[in-house]
Chain A
Amino acid sequence: MISSWPLLSVITFLPLTGVLFLMLIRGNEEAIAANSRLVALWVSGFTFVLSLYLYVGFDPEMMGYQFEERADWITGSGISYHLGIDGISMPFILLATFLTPLSILASWKSITHRVRDYMIAFLVLEVMMVGMFASLDMLMFYLFFEGVLIPMFIIIGVWGGAERVYAAFKFFLYTLLGSVLMLVCMLVMYQMAGTTDIPALAAFAFSPEIQFWLFLGFFASFAVKVPMWPVHTWLPDAHVQAPTAGSMILAGVLLKMGGYGFLRFSLPMFPDASEYFAPFIFVLSIVAVIYTSLVALAQSDMKKLIAYSSVAHMGFVTIGIFTLTEQGIAGAMFQMISHGLVSAALFFCVGVVYDRLHTREISAYGGVVDAMPRYAAFFMFMMLASVGLPGTSGFVGEMLVLVGAWEASHWVAILAATGLILGACYMLWLYRRVVFGRAEKPEILEMVALDRREVMIFVPLTILVLWFGIYPATLLDVMAYTVSDIMANVASDLSIQTVMR
C-alpha cells in the first residue's frame, strides 16, 4: 500500500531521478534542449501528482505530524533523518510541487542556451524546497534552507539579465549574514537541548533570556527571506535580473521560507521572545506595507513594481504571524499561499509581454489589450486578486490578518489597512498603463496573442486563486488544528511564565 511507503522521501527526492535522466541525455544541442524540457516537465509533473496524496491522505483532525519518517543519522547524537508534515508545511509542499512544473513550462521558449543545466537547477531547487518544508530535524532544515539558495543563485547568475551578478551578489550578502547568525543559534540550541529534533526542541523550555538572543539570530535569517523592511532591497534586483520562471519560484515559494521559519521555530520555541518582539515586528511590517507601496508607485519597471508589491504583501504576513491570534496566523498562512499563486502569475504576466517586446519598461507598453485580449483578462484577474478582491484568495488572507491585527492593536490594523488603498493605486495604475489605452506603436499591435502553452499556465493558477477565494475551507481546514496547536503552546507557555513571575 502507498501508505507504507516513505512517501515524503519519495516526493522530496523524486526530482533527482530527473536530474539523472537529464545527465544521460545524448545528442546534438537541439535534441538535448528539447528532451531536457520534456524530462523536467514530466518528472516535476509526476512529483506534483504524487504530492497530491499528501493532501488526500492528510487527516486534518489529527494532532502532531503525519507521514512521519525517522532514521538515526549520527547515532547517539540526537541528530536524525526526520521528515513529517503538519497543517502548516503540507500546503507549502503542494505550492512548491505545483509551481515547479508551471515554471518549467514558463521557460519553455524563453530559455535557449544551456537548457539542460537550467532544468537540472530547477529540479534540484525543487528537492531543496520540498525537503526544507518536510524536515523535522533542525540540521536537515538548515541544509535544505541554505541549499535552496545555490540553484537560485545559479539561475539568476547564469540565465539572468544584464546586471545579474550585482543582483546575485546582493542576494547573497543579505542571506549570508542571516544564515551565519541562525547557525550560531542552532548550535547553541543543540548544546542546550542535546537534540536537533524540531518537535523535541519545540517542547524544550528555553529560558526567556536565552530566547531573546535565539529569537534575534533566527530573525536575522528569516527577516531577509520574507523580506522585511529594511532588508528587502535584494528582492527587486533579484527579481528584475532573474528569468521569468526564477521570479515565479522566488516570489512563489522562496519568500515563504521566512514566514514558515517564524511559524516552525520562532513561535513554538521562543514564545516569550515572540511576544516581546511583536511590537517591533509590527513596526517593521507597517513600514513595509506603506513604504514599499509608495515606492512601488514610483517604479517604471514592471518587475520592480511587482517585487515591491510583494514586500508590502509579505508585511501583512509578518503582522498576522505576530498577532499571536488564531485568525492572524491562519490569515498569514493563507496570505502566503495566495501570494505564492498570485505573484507567480503576475511575474508570468510580465514574462509573457517581455518575451514579445523584450522590455520591462511600463512606458513601452499601452494598449496591449487590442493585440492580446485573453492576456488582458488573466492579468486583470490576477491584478484584482493582488489587491485583495473578495472572491479571490487574496481577500481571505488579508481579512483574517486584519481581524487578528485589530485584536492585537487597533492601530496596527488601521495602518495596515491603508495597504488596501495603496495596493489598489499602484496595481490599477500599472494595469492601466500597460493594458489600456490605444495601441499606437506598431510593435504593440503586432504582439501575438497567448498561445496554448501560456494559457495552460494561467488557467490552473486562475482556477486555484478563484477556488481558494470562494471556498477557502480547502486550506483553512487543514491548517486549523496546527494553527490552534501553535497558539495553545504559545499561550500556555506565556501563562506559565506569568505565573512564575
Chain B
Amino acid sequence: MFYQAIVFLPLLGAIAAGLFSLRQQNSAAIAVSVSGVVISFVLSLFAFAHVAMGGNTEIVSVARWINSGTFEANWQLRFDTLTAVMLIVVTGVSSCVHIYSVGYMHHDKAIARFMAYLSLFTFAMLMLVTADNLVQLFFGWEGVGVASYLLIGFWYHKESAHTAAMKAFVVNRVGDFGFVLGILAIFTLTASVSFDAIFADTASYQNAVITFSGISLPALEVVSILLFIGAMGKSAQLGLHTWLPDAMEGPTPVSALIHAATMVTAGVFLVCRMSPVIEYAPVALDVITIVGASTAIFAATVGMTQFDIKRVIAYSTCSQLGYMFFAAGVSAYPAAMFHLTTHAFFKALLFLGAGSVIHALSDEQDLRNMGGIWRKVPVTYTMMWVGSLALAGFPFFAGFYSKDMILEAAYGAHTSVGMLAFWLGCAAALLTAFYSWRLLILAFHGQPRASAEVMSHVHESPNVMTLPLIPLALGAIFAGWAGYELFVGHDMAVFWGDSIFILPTHTAMEAAHHVPLWVKLLPIVLATSGVLGAYIAYVKMPHLPGKIASACGGFYDFLFNKWYFDELYDRIFVRPAVVFGGWLWRRGDKGTIDYFGPDGLSALVGRLSARLVHIQTGYVYHYAFAMMIGVVVLLSWYFSGFGR
C-alpha cells in the first residue's frame, strides 16, 4: 500500500479537487490537492531511503491491463534508484509548486480546476517514472502530455493560449509516433514490453536486424532511435522543440513544474531507463549526442535575443536539456540524471521567481518594460540570483557540479562527437551566463521602464509564494555538493545499482574524473566572461546591444525569429495539410468518387424513374421494394435450375 500511495494519492487529490471545483468549493479543492502531493513527497523520502540508499528494488503489481496472446502489459510499479531519484524531484518540486500556486492563482476563480490539473499531472508523471513496462510508461507519457495541454490552455479565453496548447499536443504526437513504433519494434524483438524481460539479455540481440523493404537495419539501433524520437518530442530537442517556448502561455507555476523541472525531463529519463538497450546502439548514441549538443547551442543563441522573461528561461531549459542528452549520448547517464536533478531545483526556482516578478509588475512579461525594482522585491531578487548562479555553474552552486561533470564526461569520451559536444557545450555555457545576467539586469536594475501606475503597485509576493522558493533555493545551492558522491562520485556504482547500465568499454564517466585542469577551469572562465559581457552590454554601454543587433542585421533577425522553425513548419506541414485535405475532399470524394459513383448512377436512375421523383419519402420505400424484387428474382433464378 505504501508504494501505491505515493503514486495514487495525487490522483485522489486530483479527482477530489475536480469534484470540488464543480461546486466552487475552492478551499477544499486546494486542501485535498496540496495534501495529496505533500504526503506523496514525504512517502517518497522513505521510498528513496529504502530503494536508493538501501539498494533494494521493489516491484508492485497493481492490476492486469492489456493482455492479448503473447502481448502482455500490466499495471505494475517499479521502484529502483532511477525511479527513486525521479520521485524526489517530481513530488518535491510539485509540492513547492502546489503551495506557490495557492498564492499565485489566488485571484483566479478557476483555482480549484487548476489545482486538480496540477495533481493530475503529478499522478501521470509518477506513473511515467514508476512504470515497469514501456506501455505503462507511454500511459504516463501521454498523461503528462494531456495535463500539459490542459494547463497551457488553462486560460482558454486567450487565443494564443489554446493555440499553444494544441501545438504542444500535436508536436508531442510526432514524437509519440516514434515512441509507439519503438515499442512495436522492441516487442517483436524481445517478445515482451516489460523492462526486466527486455533487459534480461540485450546483448544477444546485437546481431538482430529489422528489415524495411529489403533493407536490413540493426534492430537495437532502430529501436533506440525510434524511442529517442519520442524523447525529442517530450524534451523539446532541436526539430521538435517549437512547442516549448509557446507553452509559456500557461500560468507560470505550470512552466516551473511541467516545462522546466519534470515533464520535459521525461525524455532524458527514458533514455537512461533504456540504457541497457541504447548502450548496444553506437549510432543511436552518436545521434543523441549530436542532437543534444546542437540543441544546447541553438537554444542558447535564441535565448540571448528574446524579450519575454519566460521565453528566455524556456530557451534556457531547452538548452540545458540538450546538455543532459549529450551526457547520455556519451554514456554518462549518471551525469545526465545528476544535472536533471539539480536543474529541477534551480530552474523551478528561476521560473517561480520570474512568476513573482510578473506578479509584482501586474502581469508584465516583457523585459523591455521592467527594470529598477530590485529594492522593492528583495526576496525574489535574491532567489533569482541564486537560480542564475546555479544555472551558469558558478563554483559550489548546484549547476557547477552537474554541468561541469557533463562537459568533462563529453571531453573524457575521447570521441569526435564527444569533442563536438564538449565545445558546443562550452560555447553554450558562455551564452548561458550571458543571457542569465542579461535577464537579471534588465528585469531588476537600471531605470524603471514600467509606467508609474504599475511601479506604484510593485510589491514583494506573499509568504505563500516566497516560502516554497526556500527549499528550491537550498536545492539550487546544496544539491550539487550533497549529491556529487552518490550520483557521479565514488558511490556511483552502488547508488545506481542495476537501474543504469553502462558497457565496460564506455568509460566517459570514469575518464571525466581525470581530465586536464584546463577542461575543469574552462567552464568557470566562460561563465565569468558571460557575466562580464552582460554587465558591459547592459550596464556599462547600454547602447551596445542595439548597435550589435543592427550591425548583424540578418543574423540577429535569424536568432530573434528562433531560426525560423515555426515559419518553416507552417509552410511545409501545416498549411499544405489543410490545403491538400480540402483538395482531396473536393477533387477526390466529390469530384471523382461521387461523380462517377452514386451521383452518376443517380442521374441515370433519375432519368429512368422520373415519375417517382416527386414522392418525398417514396424514395426509401421504393428502394427497399427494389431490393426485395432483387431477392425474389435471384431466388427464383436459383430454384429454377441453377446448379442442378
Within 8 Å by CB of A402, from B70, B180, B634, lies: B180
Interface residues of B in 618-634 (CB under 8 A from A): 619-620, 623-624, 626-627, 630-631, 634
Say yes or no: is A158 at the interface (Cβ < 8 Å to chain B). Answer: yes
B126 to A: closest C-beta gap in Å: 14
Q: CB of A215 within 8 A of chain B?
A: no
Residues of B within 8 Å of A406, CB to CB, are: 181, 184-185, 187-188
For A450, the chain B residues whose CB sits under 8 A away are: none
Q: Is the CB of B184 within 8 A of A234?
A: no
Known: A294-B580, A436-B153, A436-B156. A472 touches B623 (CB 8 A): no
CA distance A150 to B619 in the complex (A): 12
Which of A187, A403, A472 has the most CB atoms of chain B within a 10 A radius of its CB? A403
With a cutoff of 8 Å between Cβ atoms, the chain B residues found around residue A395 in the complex are 142
Residues from chain A with Cβ under 8 Å of B616 in the complex: 165
Q: With an 8 A cutoff between CB atoms, is B454 at the interface?
A: no
**Contact status A327-B71, CB under 8 Å:** yes
Contacts of A384 in B (CB 8 A): 146
Chain-A contact segment, one of B50-58, B372-380, B591-599: B591-599
Q: What residue of chain A has the Cβ atom nearest to residue B586's Cβ?
A: A298
Is B588 in contact with A157, judged by CB distance below 8 angstroms? no
Instruction: Indicate if the CB atoms of B68 and A476 lie closer than 8 Å.
Output: yes
- Among A151-184, those with CB < 8 Å from B are 153-154, 157-158, 165-166, 168-170, 172-174, 176, 179-180, 183-184
Complex alpha-carbon distance, A143 and B619, angstroms: 21
Kindly state whether residue B415 has any CB partner on chain A within 8 Å.
no
Chain A 418-441 per-residue mask, 1 if CB under 8 angstroms from chain B, else 0: 101110110011001001111000
> In this assembly, does B437 line the interface, its C-beta being within 8 Å of a C-beta of chain A?
no
Closest Cβ–Cβ distance, residue B621 to chain A (whole Å)? 8
With the chains together, A166 CA to B631 CA distance in Å?
24
**With A390-B139, A420-B173, A428-B169 known to touch, is A179 a contact of B181 (CB < 8 Å)?**
no
Residue in contact with B623 in the complex, picked from A153, A231, A234, CB distance below 8 Å: A153
Answer whether residue A297 sits at the interface, using C-beta atoms and an 8 A cutoff: yes
Q: Is A480 an interface residue (CB 8 A)?
A: yes
Q: Which listed residue (B153, B157, B174, B181) contacts A438, Cβ 8 A? A: B157
Q: A184–B630 Cα gap in the complex (Å)?
A: 11
Task: Return the CB mask of A263-281 against B: 1 if under 8 Å, else 0.
Answer: 0000000000000000000
A230 interface hit (Cβ, 8 Å)? yes
Hey, which chain B residues are within 8 Å of A480, CB to CB? 68-69
Known: A165-B619, A296-B581. A183 touches B169 (CB 8 A): no
B141-158: CB near A (< 8 Å → 1, else 0) gives 011001000000100110
Residue from the list A168, A236, A414 in contact with B181, Cβ < 8 A? A414
Determine the residue in chain A with the shortest Cβ distance to B140.
A390
Decide yes or no whether A413 CB sits under 8 A from chain B.
Answer: yes
Query: What residues on A are CB-neighbors of B517 within 8 Å?
Result: none
CA distance A168 to B139 in the complex (A): 42
Report if B2 contacts A (CB, 8 A). Answer: no
A295 touches B584 (CB 8 A): yes
Is the Cβ of A295 less than 8 Å from the Cβ of B143? no
- Whose C-beta in chain A lies nearest to the C-beta of B175? A421
Asked if A399 and B588 sit within 8 Å, CB to CB, the answer is no
B617 at the interface (CB under 8 A from A): yes
B485 at the interface (CB under 8 A from A): no
Contact across chains for B63 and A471 when beta carbons are under 8 A apart: yes
Contact of A400 among B66, B142, B211, B597 (CB under 8 A): B66
Given contacts A298-B578, A369-B156, contact A424 B173 (CB under 8 A): yes
Question: By the criterion CB–CB under 8 Å, are A297 and B213 in contact?
Answer: no
- Residues of A452-483 whose CB lies within 8 A of B: 470-473, 476-477, 480, 483
Inter-chain contact B71/A400, CB cutoff 8 Å: yes
A407 CA / B187 CA spacing, docked (Å): 10
Give the contacts of B90-112 with A (CB-CB under 8 A). none
Q: In the complex where A403-B184, A413-B181 touch, is A295 in contact with B581 (Cβ < 8 A)? A: yes
Say whether B453 faces chain A, with CB atoms less than 8 Å apart. Answer: no
Q: Bound complex: CA of A154 vs CA of B157, how far in Å?
A: 43
* Interface presence of A489 (CB below 8 A): no
Of all chain B residues, the one with the shortest Cβ separation from A480 is B68
* Contact yes or no, B602 A428, CB < 8 A: no
Q: Do B64 and A191 touch across chains, with their CB atoms under 8 A apart?
A: no
Task: Answer whether residue A35 sits at the interface, using C-beta atoms and an 8 A cutoff.
Answer: no
Q: Which of A153, A413, A420, A438 contacts B620 (CB 8 A)?
A: A153
- A150 to B620 Cα, complex, angstroms: 8
CA distance A299 to B593 in the complex (A): 17
* A400 to B184 Cα, complex, angstroms: 10
A157-B617, A400-B71, A425-B577 given as contacts; is B180 within 8 A of A417 (CB)? yes
A325 to nearest B CB, angstroms? 8
Kindly identify, within residues 325 to 345 of chain A, every residue whose CB is under 8 Å from any CB belonging to chain B: 325-327, 330-331
Q: Given A153-B620, A295-B589: A191 and B181 within 8 A (CB)?
A: no
The interface residues of chain A lying within 8 Å CB-to-CB of B187 are: 403, 406
Closest CB in chain A relative to B220 CB, distance in Å: 16
The answer to whether B554 has its CB under 8 Å from any CB of chain A is: no
CB distance from B29 to the nearest CB of A (A): 15
Is the C-beta of B39 less than 8 angstroms from some C-beta in chain A?
A: no
Find chain A residues with CB under 8 A from B180 CB: 399, 402, 417, 420
Contacts of A294 in B (CB 8 A): 577, 580-581, 584
User: Is A396 an interface residue when CB atoms closer than 8 A count as contact?
Assistant: yes
Tell me, in angstroms, the Cα distance from A297 to B153 when the chains sit together.
Answer: 21
Q: Is B565 close to A, CB under 8 A? A: no
Query: Is A233's beta carbon under 8 Å from chain B?
Result: yes
Asked if B68 and A326 sit within 8 Å, CB to CB, the answer is: yes
By a CB distance below 8 angstroms, the chain B residues around A476 are: 66-68
Is B602 within 8 A of A169, CB to CB?
Answer: yes
Chain A residues lying within 8 Å of B211, measured Cβ to Cβ, are 410
Instruction: Indicate whether A200 reaches chain B with its CB closer than 8 angstroms.
Output: no
Question: Which chain A residues numbered 348 to 398 have a C-beta less than 8 Å away from chain B?
Answer: 367, 369, 374, 384, 389-391, 395-396
Q: What are the residues of chain B within 8 A of A389 when measuring CB–CB? A: 142-143, 146
- The minimal Cβ–Cβ distance linking B570 to chain A, given in whole angstroms, is 13
Tell me which residues across on chain B come within 8 A of A154, comparing CB atoms: 617, 620
> A158's closest neighbor in chain B, by CB?
B617
With known contacts A168-B620, A390-B139, A391-B139, A233–B580 Cβ distance under 8 A: no
A472 to B584, CA, bound (A): 36
- In Å, the complex CA distance between A166 and B181 comes to 42
Give B561 Cβ to nearest chain A Cβ, in Å.
24
B166, B598, B624: the one contacting A169 at CB < 8 Å is: B598
Assembled-state Cα–Cα distance A413/B210 (Å): 13
Which partner residue on chain B sits nearest A388 by CB separation? B142
What is the 8 Å Cβ interface bit string for chain B, positions 43-65, against chain A (1 contact, 0 not)?
00000000000000000000111
Q: Mark B164-189, 1 if CB is under 8 A from A, else 0.
A: 01100110011011001100110110
A146 within 8 A of B: yes
Bound complex: CA A476 to CA B69 (Å): 10
Interface contact A176-B65, CB-CB below 8 Å? no
Q: A183-B634, A402-B180 are in contact. List 20 more A-B contacts (CB 8 A).
A: A146-B627, A149-B624, A157-B620, A172-B623, A173-B597, A183-B630, A183-B631, A230-B593, A233-B589, A233-B594, A296-B581, A400-B66, A400-B68, A406-B181, A413-B184, A417-B177, A421-B177, A425-B170, A436-B157, A437-B156
Ordered by A's residue number, 27 sampled pairs between the chains whose C-beta atoms are within 8 Å are: A146-B627, A150-B624, A169-B619, A170-B594, A173-B601, A176-B623, A176-B630, A180-B634, A183-B630, A233-B590, A233-B593, A233-B594, A234-B598, A294-B580, A327-B69, A330-B69, A389-B142, A390-B139, A399-B66, A402-B184, A421-B174, A424-B173, A425-B170, A436-B156, A436-B162, A470-B65, A473-B65
A positions within 8 Å CB-CB of B: 146, 149-150, 153-154, 157-158, 165-166, 168-170, 172-174, 176, 179-180, 183-184, 187, 191, 230-231, 233-234, 236, 291, 293-299, 325-327, 330-331, 367, 369, 374, 384, 389-391, 395-396, 399-400, 402-403, 406-407, 410-411, 413-414, 417-418, 420-422, 424-425, 428-429, 432, 435-438, 470-473, 476-477, 480, 483-484
Closest 10 CB pairs of A and B: A326-B69, A294-B581, A298-B582, A298-B581, A406-B184, A390-B139, A297-B581, A157-B620, A436-B162, A191-B643
